[in-house]
């Protein structure tokens, strides 16, 4: 009897012995004629019954050692079902062994080429090759491991690019790559760490803590994991846990400047938490020095102001707080020394912590400034509830608008200032304002320019397109791929064109 073999998925070699059955259908195949099949679904050698689909009817043949696959016959007048049903047990065994041998060789070849592509940093090509292995063998652990590695390296390279330019639009791609790496292999701490750090850079501190905690469980001695976990917890105001992980990081690398500075900040804030008195309501937790009855009276009045501001802002943003905002009222000297804030600021807000810091100095010296500063910072809390990743210039523009929308004198002053700026062509383009802030924040003159431009553009949007669209814009920022798409979704006008209309309006 001629040597026989049946290669399912690509070729079927029909044994000469079958021709002895005088079946006309098989006689033409006696010389080893090939029958081609087209793969419909992909699985691997599983030891289960092979399913062959013909004319939309699935029939089980008895190849116990075959493939669990659905294939369709492409050559007419050849009934693979009949052919396979006529195979003897001995022939079936030959078929099965040949299948395993051919698949093994194919998988080995793909794996070798995939490893070569990985070594040459061709991660996308490597990923494709290992995916071909999974088509043949869906449970191939080695292929899954290498696919995860390829996704991780693509994400890591994107993260290096992000670090070079801090371009936030790269973060979603990094997050997707890290998630894919974990889908294929959740056992590697570095994959969890990459995802957690990307969440951290995106301001998603809750997700960062959850993911970095998983990385920590797999490897508690990774300095990056510990550092970003401590920092994420700090921004969530979980100071005790933040201190714990910062100390662990410092024990691994005592001269690490980032951790030493973070730990000092954590301990400073913990001291305030421990020594300041507190007034709590459902919406606010106000911490104050509380050295005498006057301090307590001031803190109580501040709580009342905050409640009034909340009642004004909540319906505008259609947001209700689910957890209290923390407000720290400092003696003047302590505010600037403890927070490191420049002396010309009246207050500031920490988004991740949902915490307002304000010096008490203007409460009696200039009550209007104090009340405006308090409402301004509370507005930031609403803004970040709606859009945690809001650009700084839009954050400040909306906060100023809702604080000063009824202050005609101030708004006229802002417009006059912007008219002069436009005439001198010294304004900063909207898309460049966020970068401008980094050099402006410590300069009173530049900071004023930043705030004036941000308010002027926001006021233009509110007046020309109704202020309710400001809240719609914030919501769109969370779903759009980038800021241009968010503006277009809201106003049906591109941001560059809106900027042009704003500048033109200043000359009218």
Note whether 115 and 236 are same-domain residues: yes
Rounded Cα gap, residues 91 and 89, in angstroms: 5
192 within some domain? yes
Note whether 234 and 135 are same-domain residues: yes
User: Tell me: the pLDDT tens digits for 51-86?
Assistant: 333 332 333 333 333 333 333 333 333 344 444 555
pLDDT of residue 409: 61
Q: Which residues lie across from 60 on neighbouring strands?
A: 51
pLDDT of residue 411: 60
- 38-47 burial, b for 16+ CB within 10 Å, e for fewer? ebeeebbbee
Note whether 117 and 253 are same-domain residues: yes
Say if residue 389's pLDDT is above 90: no
Q: Which two tokens stand for residue 317?
A: 């943003």
CATH of the domain at 250: 1.25.40.10
Note whether 137 and 238 are same-domain residues: yes
pLDDT of residue 135: 84
265 within some domain? no
Range of the domain at 154: 110-259
Split into its structural domains, the chain has a count of 4
Give first-to-last CA distance, the chain, whole Å.
98
268 within some domain? no
Note whether 135 and 91 are same-domain residues: no
User: Tell me: the pLDDT tens digits for 303-335?
Assistant: 999 999 999 999 999 999 998 999 999 887 788
Say if residue 89's pLDDT is above 80: no
Note whether 433 and 358 are same-domain residues: no
Q: Is residue 424 within 8 Å of residue 494, measured between CB atoms? A: no
Q: Which residues lie across from 365 on neighbouring strands?
A: none
**Percent of the residues in the chain that have a pLDDT greater than 90, as a whole number:** 47
pLDDT of residue 408: 63
Q: Determine how β-strand 70-73 pairs with β-strand 51-54.
A: parallel
Q: Give the mean pLDDT of 372-398.
A: 94
Note whether 150 and 237 are same-domain residues: yes
Helix axes 223-235, 205-218, angle to 10 degrees: 150
pLDDT of residue 63: 33
**Angle 352-357-363 (CA atoms, 0-180°, nearest 5)?**
155
- 378-412 burial, b for 16+ CB within 10 Å, e for fewer? bbbbbbbbbbbebbbbbbbbbbbbbbbeeeeeebe
pLDDT of residue 368: 86
Residue 292 confidence class, pLDDT cut points 50, 70, 90: confident
Q: Which range, of 343-347, 378-382, 499-503, averages the lowest pLDDT?
A: 343-347
Rounded Cα gap, residues 360 and 301, in angstroms: 12
Q: Which range, of 51-60, 162-171, 218-227, 248-257, averages the lowest pLDDT?
A: 51-60
Give how far Cα 48 sits from Cα of 14, 96, 134, 485, Å: 22, 11, 17, 51
264 within some domain? no
Rounded Cα gap, residues 180 and 151, in angstroms: 6
Say if residue 40's pLDDT is above 50: no
Q: Which two tokens stand for residue 367?
A: 């009550």
Say if residue 395's pLDDT is above 90: yes
Q: What is the mean pLDDT of the chain?
A: 79
Say if residue 484's pLDDT is above 70: yes
DSSP 45: B
Residue 37 confidence class, pLDDT cut points 50, 70, 90: very low
For residue 111, the surrounding DSSP H or E stretch is helix 89-119
Q: Give the mean pLDDT of 477-490.
A: 92
Q: Which range, of 1-15, 227-241, 261-275, averages the lowest pLDDT?
A: 1-15
Say if residue 99's pLDDT is above 70: no
Q: Which residue has the higher pLDDT, 402 or 421?
A: 402
- Sheet of 51-54, strands arranged across: 11-13, 34-39, 70-73, 51-54, 57-60
pLDDT of residue 29: 33
Rounded Cα gap, residues 27 and 17, in angstroms: 10
266 within some domain? no
Q: Which residue has the higher pLDDT, 21 or 466?
A: 466
Rounded Cα gap, residues 285 and 280, in angstroms: 4
Domain end call among 337, 352, 383? 383
Domain end call among 70, 97, 124? 97
Note whether 198 and 122 are same-domain residues: yes
Say if residue 187's pLDDT is above 70: yes
Q: Which residue has the higher pLDDT, 421 or 372?
A: 372
pLDDT of residue 90: 66
Note whether 207 and 309 are same-domain residues: no
Q: Which two tokens stand for residue 403?
A: 């604080």
Q: Give the mean pLDDT of 102-126.
A: 89
Note whether 139 and 251 are same-domain residues: yes
CATH of the domain at 333: 3.40.30.160
Rounded Cα gap, residues 244 and 232, in angstroms: 13
102 within some domain? no
pLDDT of residue 47: 35
Q: Give the mean pLDDT of 255-284.
A: 91
Rounded Cα gap, residues 159 and 190, in angstroms: 13
Note whether 143 and 254 are same-domain residues: yes
Question: Which pTM was predicted?
Answer: 0.65
- Nearest in space to 331 (alpha carbons), one of 352, 359, 356, 311: 359
Q: Is residue 140 within 8 Å of residue 107, measured between CB atoms? A: yes
Note whether 207 and 133 are same-domain residues: yes
pLDDT of residue 294: 75
Q: Which two tokens stand for residue 48?
A: 């289960």
pLDDT of residue 248: 97
Q: Which residues lie across from 37 on neighbouring strands?
A: 73
126 within some domain? yes
2 within some domain? no
């Amino acid at each position: 009897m001629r040597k026989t073999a049946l290669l399912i998925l690509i070729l079927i070699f029909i044994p000469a012995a079958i021709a002895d059955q005088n079946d006309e259908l098989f006689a033409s195949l006696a010389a080893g004629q090939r029958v081609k099949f087209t793969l419909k679904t992909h699985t691997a050698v599983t030891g289960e019954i092979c399913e062959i689909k013909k004319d939309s009817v699935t029939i089980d043949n008895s190849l116990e050692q075959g493939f669990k696959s659905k294939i369709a016959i492409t050559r007419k007048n050849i009934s693979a079902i009949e052919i396979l049903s006529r195979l003897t047990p001995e022939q079936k065994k030959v078929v099965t062994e040949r299948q395993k041998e051919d698949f093994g060789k194919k998988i080995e070849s793909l794996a070798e080429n995939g490893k070569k592509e990985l070594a040459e940093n061709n991660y996308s090509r490597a990923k494709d090759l290992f995916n071909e292995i999974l088509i043949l063998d869906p449970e191939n652990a080695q292929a899954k491991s290498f696919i995860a590695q390829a996704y991780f390296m693509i994400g890591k390279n994107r993260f290096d690019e992000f670090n070079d330019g801090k371009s936030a639009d790269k973060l979603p791609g990094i997050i997707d790559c890290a998630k894919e790496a974990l889908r294929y292999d959740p056992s590697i701490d570095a994959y969890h760490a990459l995802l957690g750090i990307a969440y951290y850079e995106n301001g998603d501190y809750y997700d960062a803590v959850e993911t970095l905690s998983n990385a920590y469980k797999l490897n508690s001695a990774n300095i990056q994991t510990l550092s970003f976990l401590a920092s994420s917890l700090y921004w969530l105001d979980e100071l005790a846990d933040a201190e714990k992980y910062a100390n662990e990081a410092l024990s691994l690398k005592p001269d690490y400047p980032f951790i030493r500075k973070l730990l000092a900040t954590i301990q400073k804030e913990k001291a305030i938490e421990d020594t300041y008195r507190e007034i709590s309501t459902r919406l606010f937790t106000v911490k104050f020095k509380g050295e005498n009855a006057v301090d307590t009276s001031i803190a109580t009045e501040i709580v009342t102001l905050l409640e009034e501001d909340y009642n004004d802002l909540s319906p505008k943003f259609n947001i209700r707080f689910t957890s209290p905002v923390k407000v720290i009222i400092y003696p003047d000297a302590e505010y600037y020394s403890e927070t490191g804030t420049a002396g010309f600021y009246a207050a500031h807000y920490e988004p991740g912590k949902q915490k307002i810091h304000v010096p008490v100095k203007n409460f009696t010296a200039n009550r209007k400034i104090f009340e405006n500063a308090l409402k301004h910072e509370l507005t930031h809390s609403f803004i970040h509830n709606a859009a945690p990743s809001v650009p700084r210039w839009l954050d400040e523009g909306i906060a100023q608008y809702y604080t000063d929308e009824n202050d005609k004198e101030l708004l006229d002053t802002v417009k006059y200032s912007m008219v002069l700026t436009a005439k001198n062509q010294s304004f900063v383009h909207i898309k460049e304002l966020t970068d401008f802030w980094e050099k402006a924040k410590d300069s009173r003159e530049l900071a004023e320019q930043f705030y004036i431009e941000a308010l002027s553009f926001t006021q233009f949007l509110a007046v020309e397109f109704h202020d309710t669209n400001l809240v719609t814009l914030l919501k769109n920022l969370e779903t759009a791929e980038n800021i241009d798409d968010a503006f277009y979704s809201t106003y049906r006008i591109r941001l560059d064109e809106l900027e042009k209309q704003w500048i033109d309006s200043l000359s009218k």
